[in-house]
Amino acid sequence: MLENLINLILPVIIHVLELMGVAIICFGAVHSMITYFKIQLRGVKGRRLSDSQGISSVKVMLGTSLELGLEYKMGAEIIKTLLIRDISEIWVLASIIVLRAMLFALIHFEMRAEKKKAEGNQPVRDSD
């Protein structure tokens, strides 16, 4: 009985998590694109940013949404391990998890580099 309940509920939870991950990635991509266009057309707060500052802020915004979206999708993959029936499914699922973890790590390190680069481009303000 519990196995039937798990087989009934878990696929729904998995699909919801995957859809949430896709939605986060899509929303982040659209939001970062709109932000990039706003920066290029109007500048930020009346002043025009250099291209490197504008691109860095958009990269950070997009990378953050990619990280979060991949986390939701990896969570769905981990939950899928409860539904596995044979060893071939384990290998496929393990390879998917490893690939997504590598993507997550790559995006994470790229984000750290972009944040440091963006912080280095900030103008120094006088503290009066």
Q: Which of the pair, 33 or 89, is modelled with greater confidence?
A: 33
Judge whether 82 lies within some domain.
yes
Lowest mean pLDDT among 9-13, 39-43, 81-85, 94-98: 39-43
Q: Residue 114: inside a domain, yes or no?
A: yes
pTM over 0.85: no
pLDDT in tens, 8-36: 999 999 999 999 999 999 999 999 999 88
Q: Do the domain assignments include residue 125? A: no
Domain that holds residue 57: 2-120
Q: What pLDDT is attached to residue 68?
A: 93
Number of domains in the chain: 1
pLDDT of residue 34: 92
Domain membership flag for residue 70: yes
Give residue-wise pLDDT tens across range 55-87. 788 888 898 999 999 999 989 988 988 888 888
Q: Which DSSP string corresponds to 24-86?
A: HHHHHHHHHHHHHHHHHHH-BTTBPPPHHHHHHHHHHHHHHHHHHHHHHHHHHHHHHGGG--S
- Residue 116 domain flag: yes
The answer to whether residue 126 sits within a structural domain is no
Domain assignment present for residue 80? The answer is yes
Residue 69 counted as domain residue:
yes
Q: What is the pLDDT of residue 47?
A: 60
